[in-house]
Structure 1
């Protein structure tokens, strides 16, 4: 009987490993192998396929590369300005759309979520035309007498960054809103009823009940938004092309330029790619610490 039980357990284990093996092989082949190859590539230098081992030379070059430093500065401007605005806006919208007395809630939820499932290239091109010198946005501002002359949304360094921030906020706010809305709907309504009986205003309920209870979700969306912003590429590439000059360029666009626009330097491009990995790890740890997660 014991032998029979051992055989059955072995067969069950073998069948389990058989199913898992396919996933493990695919993950190793398409995720870990490219990561290791990219790390080895970052230690090499040269044009095209003519690569030679360079050690940490590429990483030392990062600190003296003015274009890379500009791209990092621009990316962190997007990160510092856009992510807090988007998270707060998503929180406010989720609370508003959770109101039982609000009509057409389904329509508003769908309308706000819809941008994040649109084509990145398509919406970027639309934004480029909307914010052009003679685009719809400037026409409306002029008609409403809010400005005396068209705003150079795409051709001015400051306004080009503002345009990118508006674009990514428009696209991703609804995505984060869905997470908050789902979490709010899991909060026991009696908590809010007790707060109302105690005389807590809507703002106090928001800051003292909603936000503390949504802390894990806020941490999750902050980290994913940070990762997404550090990898920002499509909007910049299609709206401003990194211009004017390099005033709106990002790290991901610089990687693209190193690989396909300039003389192909895949080794240095891989090094810049790994700089994003380091930034993501550091910022994620910082966010965990700020949020008070002891396991970070």
Structure 2
């Protein structure tokens, strides 16, 4: 009876409900993070581990391949941010207007790529960008009299393929985020602006964009992390972690290459922690600049 009374207590009940989350958070996040920090200072061998201090981090400072992976990830992140915030926002506004019919069909059509396995989509895009004459893009360029191209062996076109895969998969998801944000905007604001003679562009600029700021910050935050942590798209597009002149190598791809493929778990842990610090730093800076951490005025 005492145990039952204890569990049914209003003071204890909230802790009972959150206990599964706390346990899973500690087991699947806190413990791996602590293990990764420890491993980054070690040289892990099949026969045992050796404490080497900061040697892994010093090696990262002069590792040109790692530097290229960082630059590739930054380029990818910036391009996806530029494309995956304004266009989904515009699509959401269009979908929320009276101009579009059968909205449910269009929402399902745009969201469908996100449900597709990245393995399948990556393979399909690899075949599409194949350097052979049977590749879909080379078929088109041949019809236009431009010849064939080695799309995935050139930096510019390889990055274009990566960004295209990302936009194809996540435009619909970000559009739904913005649609949910639009639902929270009071329609009376648009009616008042229309009475005052505001155009559609003015309503979008002075009402929609400012009031969608929380949604925009959220999409920007997850886009920064997703851009820096991208791996599977690149892995499937080049059928492995290796690409010509490392044009498709990302930070996580380099982590996999050194930590898993070459069994250098200590060095891979250092790469992962650097990625974590970079992602946290960029997101904290953008959250501070956007005013997210400012205290509300009373």
User: TM-score if structure 2 supplies the norm length?
Assistant: 0.89
Q: How does 1:134-283 map to 2 (within 5 A)?
A: 134-143=134-143, 145=144, 148-240=146-238, 241=240, 242-262=242-262, 264-283=263-282
Distance 1:209 1:56, change over 3 A: same
Secondary structure of the structure 1 residue equivalent to 2:151: coil
Cα distance in 1 between the residues matched to 2:120 and 2:83: 24
| Cα shift readout 1:62-117 (whole Å, capped 9, x = no counterpart) | 11111100000000000111212111111011011111242111111111111112
Residue of structure 1 aligned with 2:29, choices 28, 31, 34? 31
Name the residue aligned to 2:285: 286
Name the residue aligned to 2:116: 118
Cα distance in 1 between the residues matched to 2:253 and 2:161: 17
Q: Which runs of 4+ in 1 moved over 6 A?
A: 7-10
- Structure 2 unpaired stretches of 5+: none
Name the residue aligned to 1:4: none
Q: How does 1:95-134 map to 2 (within 5 A)?
A: 95-133=93-131, 134=134
Report how far residue 266 of structure 1 moved.
0.2
Secondary structure of the structure 2 residue equivalent to 1:154: helix
Cα distance in 2 between the residues matched to 1:239 and 1:225: 20
| Cα shift readout 1:240-262 (whole Å, capped 9, x = no counterpart) | 24422201110001011112222
Distance 1:233 1:57, change over 3 A: same
Distance 1:10 1:194, change over 3 A: closer
Q: How does 1:32-47 map to 2 (within 5 A)?
A: 32-47=30-45
Name the residue aligned to 1:3: none
Report how far residue 51 of structure 1 moved.
2.3
RMSD: 2.2
Cα distance in 2 between the residues matched to 1:151 and 1:91: 34
Cα distance in 2 between the residues matched to 1:282 and 1:89: 26
User: TM-score if structure 1 supplies the norm length?
Assistant: 0.90
